[in-house]
């Protein structure tokens, strides 16, 4: 934890995705004080026919939209603020879309809402935040 889901109706080259994964990992490890081994990134492509915007299927014509969900333990606003711009910029570059089309949602959880190794996190040693 944290893990990241990236949804986009546009695909990107492997090198662009690698650069985005590196930028995300660097931003998250720096702001959240976790090792790189704690960060996992999933790309979830969405075909244009499986995406709707403004009441219509497919792209609106002004570039793909990118939605990023960051699942992590609860943190103050400061660390979230610290990762927002670098991750948004890296995603914008990766998918070739304007920054205004990149949205990040922080889906944070308490230790009693996460299971690792079959056990609630709250039942073991407290993770380092």
Query: How far, in whole angstroms, is CA 68 from its chain's centroid?
Result: 4
- 3-class secondary structure for 73-108? ECCCHHHHHHHHHHHHHHHHHHHCCCHHHEEEEEEE
Q: Which domains does the chain have, with CATH numbers?
A: 3-123 (3.30.429.10)
Rounded CA separation 103/101 (Å):
7
- Per-residue model confidence as pLDDT tens for the chain (129 residues): 799 999 998 899 999 999 999 999 999 999 999 999 999 999 998 887 888 877 878 766 677 889 999 999 999 999 999 999 999 999 999 999 999 999 999 999 999 999 988 999 999 887 766
| pLDDT score of 101 | 92
pLDDT of res. 10? 87
């Amino acid at each position: 934890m944290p893990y990241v889901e990236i949804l986009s109706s546009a695909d990107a080259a492997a090198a662009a995705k690698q650069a985005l994964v590196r930028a995300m990992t660097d931003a998250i490890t720096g702001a959240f004080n976790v090792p790189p081994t704690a960060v996992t990134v999933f790309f979830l492509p969405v075909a244009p026919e499986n995406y709707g915007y403004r009441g219509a299927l497919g792209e609106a014509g002004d570039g793909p939209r990118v939605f990023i969900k960051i699942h992590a333990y609860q943190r103050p606003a400061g660390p979230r603020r610290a990762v927002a711009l670098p991750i948004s910029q890296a995603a914008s570059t990766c998918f070739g879309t304007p920054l205004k089309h990149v949205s990040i949602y922080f889906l944070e959880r308490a230790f009693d809402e996460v299971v690792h190794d079959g056990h609630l996190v709250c039942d073991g040693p407290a993770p380092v935040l």
